[in-house]
Amino acid sequence: MAEITAYRPDHFGGVERLWRSVFPGDPARNQAEHAIPQKVAMEDDLFWVAESPSGAVIGSIMAGWDGHRGWLYAVAVDPSQQRSGVGRDLVRHALAELRKRGCGKVNLQIRAGNEAVTAFYRELGFEIEQRTSMGREI
């Protein structure tokens, strides 16, 4: 059984290894050495990891809340632990924390064509919304 805990600096190496495994080829802005310091600087306490009984990082999730809408980011589970409930527990934990802050709507983005992840989120009650996702690097 994994334990979900707030991210601590000593989790960095484990999260970095996890993300490199689960998100290969991500742009530099999404890599741990950039994304984690920026998230920690927000001081919003919306970053958690799942640890194995031995203390190894086996999952991560970041959330965001701007007072209007919540977001989920960097939901990652070690491939050897996928389909074990770790991802579900991380998402439910983040949703509960966002709800405590008054969040009533949560969004997330999935890369097009990732049907396995789409099915995972559908099982958790998420629905595909008719929206166009746009982005721009600045």
Residues 58-108 pLDDT 10s:
999 999 999 999 999 999 999 999 999 999 999 999 999 999 999 999 999
Instruction: Read off the pLDDT of each residue in 2-30 and give the average, rounded to a whole number.
Output: 95
Query: pLDDT tier at 14 (50, 70, 90 boundaries)?
Result: very high
pTM over 0.85: yes
* Confidence band for 56, pLDDT divided at 50, 70 and 90: very high
3-123 is classed in which CATH architecture?
3-Layer(aba) Sandwich (3.40)
Domain locations in the chain?
Answer: 3-123
Going across the sheet that includes 57-65, the strands are 3-6, 47-51, 57-65, 70-77, 106-107
> Cβ distance 107 to 74 under 8 Å?
no
Mean pLDDT, range 8-28, rounded to an integer: 95
Taking all residues of the chain, what is their mean pLDDT, rounded to a whole number?
A: 95
Alpha helix locations (H) across the chain? Answer: 12-22, 32-42, 86-100, 115-123
Q: Is the model's pLDDT at 132 over the cut of 90? A: no
Q: How high is the pLDDT of residue 112?
A: 87
| Amino acid code (one letter) for 112 | A
User: What is the structure's pLDDT at 78?
Assistant: 97
